[in-house]
């Protein structure tokens, strides 16, 4: 019994030693922005909530000139550009030109978002979803000097 336990521990230690340490920081050292978090407030089944996206632009990335958000069909909200607030990692409001067309929100930044920075995007007055497992947003970025939309991730919101 002791011999089997010892062999199991040796096997586990050997397996762990082969996992690269940089794996956990893959996005941090990457060249593309990514969604580092998302949440809704209040976190329960209230009728109207706020959806928040946290986007990290890693140090090896280019400057972001625009973020495009595809809003799911099952989400209803005010469609008012004033209900979208963009802030940096310190909570300071970012000067943003908000354009809404159908279920697509385009956020064009007066000054491109520098590498190694954070963005927090709040969509206020989102009405609770009554269908499915929760809405899935798709986010894209355009880099300074480019018109190509690059996918940066999806965000799913679940209601408790």
> 47-61, pLDDT tens digit by residue?
788 899 999 999 999
* Lowest model confidence (mean pLDDT) among 4-18, 77-91, 129-143: 4-18
The total of structural domains in the chain comes to: 1
Q: Is residue 3 part of a domain?
A: no
- Specify the CATH number for the domain of residue 117: 2.60.40.740
- Which residue has 């954070």 as its token pair? 118
- Residue 36 domain flag: yes
Q: Is residue 124 part of a domain?
A: yes
CA distances, 72 to each of 36, 81, 107, 135, 156 (Å): 20, 17, 17, 6, 10
Let me know the angle formed at the C-alpha of 123 by 69 and 67, rounded to the nearest 5 degrees. Answer: 30
Please indicate, yes or no, if residue 13 is contained in any of the structural domains.
no
Domain span at residue 39 reads: 29-156
Token digits for 7? Answer: 């062999």
The pLDDT of 54-71, averaged and rounded, is: 94
Residues 57 and 88 sit within 8 Å (Cβ to Cβ) = no
**127 belongs to a structural domain:** yes
Residue with structure tokens 């706020």? 50
Q: What is the mean pLDDT of residues 20-45?
A: 69
Which helix (DSSP H) or strand (DSSP E) does residue 134 occupy? none
Please give the pLDDT value at position 44.
65
């Amino acid at each position: 019994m002791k011999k089997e336990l010892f062999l199991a521990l040796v096997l586990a230690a050997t397996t762990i030693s082969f996992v690269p340490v940089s794996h956990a920081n893959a996005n941090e050292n990457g060249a593309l922005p990514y969604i580092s978090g998302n949440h809704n407030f209040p976190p329960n089944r209230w009728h109207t909530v706020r959806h928040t996206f946290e986007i990290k632009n890693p140090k090896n990335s280019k400057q972001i000139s625009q973020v495009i958000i595809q809003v799911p069909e099952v989400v209803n909200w005010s469609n008012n550009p004033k209900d979208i607030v963009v802030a940096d990692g310190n909570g300071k409001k970012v000067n943003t030109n908000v354009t809404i067309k159908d279920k697509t929100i385009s956020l064009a930044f007066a000054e491109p978002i520098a590498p190694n920075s954070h963005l927090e995007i709040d969509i206020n007055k989102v009405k609770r979803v009554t269908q499915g497992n929760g809405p899935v947003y798709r986010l894209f970025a355009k880099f300074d000097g480019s018109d190509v939309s690059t996918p940066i991730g999806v965000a799913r919101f679940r209601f408790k």
